[in-house]
Amino acid sequence: MSAEAPLYQFTSHILGKNAKVTIYPGRLEWRVDRGVSGAKVTAGIMTGGLSMLATGVKHGKAGTEMIPVKAITSVTTAREGMLNWKVSVITAGNTIDFRVSHKEAEIVKSTLTSLILGTHPSLASAAAAPAAGGDTAAQLQQLASLRDAGVLTEAEFAAKKAEILARL
Residue 74 in any domain: the answer is yes
Q: Is the pLDDT of residue 8 over 80?
A: yes
| 157 phi/psi in degrees, rounded to 5 | -60, -50
Q: What is the pLDDT of residues 118-167, one digit of tens each?
A: 888 877 655 455 555 558 888 888 888 888 888 788 888 888 888 888 87
Q: Give the pLDDT confidence of 100-119 residue by residue, as tens digits.
A: 999 999 999 999 999 998 88
Q: How far apart are CA 8 and CA 104, in angstroms?
A: 10
**How does pLDDT run across 17-28, given as a tens digit for each residue?**
889 999 999 899
By C-alpha distance, which of 64, 66, 67, 61 is closest to 31? 64
Residue 87 in any domain: the answer is yes
pLDDT at 1: 45
Residue 86, pLDDT above cutoff 80: yes
Q: Could you tell me if residue 24 is inside a domain?
A: yes
Average pLDDT along the chain: 80
Domain encompassing residue 102? 8-129
Quote the number of domains for the chain: 1
The share of the chain scoring above pLDDT 70, in percent, equals: 74
Listed ranges 32-36, 50-54, 86-90, 140-144; the one with the highest mean pLDDT = 86-90
Lowest-pLDDT range of 33-47, 77-91, 153-167:
33-47
- Would you state the pLDDT for residue 143? 86
C-beta separation of 64 from 31 below 8 A = yes
Question: What is the per-residue DSSP string for 49-77?
Answer: THHHHHH-S-BS--EEEEEEGGGEEEEEE
Residue 62 lies in a domain: yes
Burial of 72 (0-12, 13-18, 19+ CB in 10 A): buried
In a domain? residue 147: no
Note whether residue 155 is domain-resident. no
CATH number at residue 17: 2.30.29.30
The verdict on residue 165 lying in a domain is no
Q: Residue 63 CA to chain centroid, in angstroms?
A: 16
Query: Is residue 148, in this structure, part of any structural domain at all?
Result: no
